[in-house]
Amino acid sequence: MTEYLAVDGGTIAYEVAGDGPLIVLAHGMGNSRAAYRKVMPALVAAGYRVAAVDLRGSGESSVAWPAWSRTAIAGDLLAVIRHLGGPAVLVGHSISGGAATIAAAQEPSLISAVVELGPFTRKQSIRLGDLRVKRFRRGMLRLVGAGMFGSVRLWKAYLDVAYPGVKPAGWDEYLGRIDTMMREPGRMKAMQGMGRSAPTDAGAQLGHVSSPVLVVMGTLDPDWADPHAEGTAIVEALPAGLGRLEMIEGAGHYPHDQFPDQVVSLVLDFLRTVTARA
């Protein structure tokens, strides 16, 4: 059941299930909380209270916002956590990975641990050699085109590259939901705003994070020519001993949707380690 939280600038939609320690799930741009539809039930079954959030401008959240930065998204997520009674484990995908970093640095008492899935958490730069990597080149052209022209068709073409190999069950229905959502007034504008937001605000906060961080990357993520190198750089920018990188073989930019069982297993193992340390 959808619930709503009024925050400064608009309304954030979310749903909650289960009992136990709180986990908050935040999706990437051009998507909705439905991105975690395969992960949420498994985390609930493992004994957690799980909240899946629609980012500002996405899903059932309102569309008219003054900013689309990771810092702004972090503020929304912290508001949800306060409302639900934190602390929480904050799981962020793509742009929300950077937002989770900022939230953890700003409010360490509210964030017990962070999981970043294919995160954009550092300043990005493209080298000439990167364009020789076919999946990176194909993904980047479609991603840039979708943002530049506001094209739902190109966004879905990007998703086709971002889910390499065999598509998950219900793929056509998933694309249909994305198509419907992105054609609603204001939804593409929200995605374009997020796409123009540089991750430098998140990168500046990596050294200030004090909670444990799990970074999960797909080996075939088209958003980077070398996903392993990007994940390693994030971990190395964190205070020593806080970060851990896990790679999922064959996954693209959406490991939690392509390989939900593996992602849940990694998250639960990580949280057992966090609990043991505490």
- Which tens digit of pLDDT belongs to each residue from 165-194? 989 989 999 999 999 999 999 999 999 999
Q: What is the pTM of this model?
A: 0.95
The pLDDT of residue 86: 79
Domain housing 153 = 3-277
Q: Does the pLDDT of residue 278 top 70, yes or no?
A: no
- Residue 70: closest CA among 38, 109, 105, 32: 105
Which position has the token pair 């504008």? 189
Cβ atoms within 10 Å, residue 2: 11
24 phi, psi to nearest 5 deg: -115, 130
The enclosing domain of 87 has a CATH number of: 3.40.50.1820
Q: What is the amino acid identity at position 201?
A: D
The pLDDT of residue 275: 83
The pLDDT of residue 276: 80
Q: What is the residue-averaged pLDDT of the chain?
A: 95
Which position has the token pair 């999706």? 27
What are the tens digits of pLDDT across the range 38-81?
999 999 999 999 999 999 999 999 999 999 999 999 999 999 99
Q: What is the amino acid identity at position 115?
A: V
Cβ atoms within 10 Å, residue 180: 11
Q: Give the mean pLDDT of 99-122.
A: 97
Structure-derived torsion over alpha carbons of residues 40, 156, 158, 253, reported in degrees to the nearest 10: 0
Q: Residue 217's pLDDT band (boundaries 50, 70, 90)?
A: very high
Count of domains for the chain = 1
Is the Cβ–Cβ distance between 84 and 110 less than 8 Å? no
Is the Cβ–Cβ distance between 35 and 94 less than 8 Å? no
What are the tens digits of pLDDT across the range 123-169?
988 887 888 889 999 999 999 999 999 999 999 999 999 999 989 98
The pair of three-digit structure tokens given for residue 237, joined into one six-digit string: 């920018």
Element (H, E) at 198: none
Q: Residue 26's pLDDT band (boundaries 50, 70, 90)?
A: very high
